[in-house]
Structure 1
Amino acid sequence: MVDDRKDIERGRIAQDILDNEIFQDAMIMLEEQYKNLWAITKQDQQEERERLWIAMKLIPEFERQLRIVVENGTIKKNQIVKIKQNIA
């Protein structure tokens, strides 16, 4: 039950992060920065372009991981509600 409450709290915090305007702006700015840096690489800078491409792909993955934490918290919360309803 303690782990369930921890998962619920982590889910709430993750949702707060995703909803945070500063976080959203930072993710957009970071992606734009990577795209701009990628666009100005020279033809012989293949490794740099690949590094920037990977970095751009990690941004949505980071957000996806936060969404997984949110979903896990929601699932735990719903499970607790069902258990309480079955007891009552």
Structure 2
Amino acid sequence: MTDLSRDIARGERALSLIEDPLLLECFRAVETAYTDAWRDSPAGAAADRERCWMAIRLIEQIRGHLVTVLQDGQIAAAEIAQEREE
């Protein structure tokens, strides 16, 4: 399998994960739980709020990485299509 073919396969898998209802539900549930915990934390619990914020950011980074893998796959597909036209 070439690097481009691998990127395409990874991009297709990333798309299926991005669109997966169960994974979306999990991300929303975890993000909501941490947001609620952050919002409901007492005034002196700065360390707890920081951990909640970091967890929310991690979810955003995971989503962002999936989008990057998807876009890499789309670029690889475009490169292969262009090579075929030449």
Give the TM-score range, shorter chain: over 0.9
Q: Distance in 2 between matches of 1:39 and 1:70?
A: 33
Question: Which segment drifts farther, 39-48 or 75-84?
Answer: 39-48
Taking structure 2 as the reference length, what is the TM-score of the superposition? 0.93
Aligned length: 86
Match of residue 22 from structure 1: 22
Following TM superposition, by how much is the alpha carbon of 1:39 offset from its aligned partner in structure 2, in angstroms?
A: 1.9
2:32 maps to 1:32: yes
Gapped runs of 5+ residues in structure 2?
none
2:1 maps to 1:4: no
Following TM superposition, by how much is the alpha carbon of 1:59 offset from its aligned partner in structure 2, in angstroms?
A: 1.5
Q: State the identity %.
A: 26
Gapped runs of 5+ residues in structure 1?
none
Which aligned pairs between 1:1-88 and structure 2 lie closer than 5 A? 2-86=2-86
Q: Distance in 1 between matches of 2:18 and 2:12?
A: 10
Task: Give 4+ residue runs of structure 1 displaced > 3 Å after superposition.
Answer: none
Following TM superposition, by how much is the alpha carbon of 1:40 offset from its aligned partner in structure 2, in angstroms?
A: 2.1
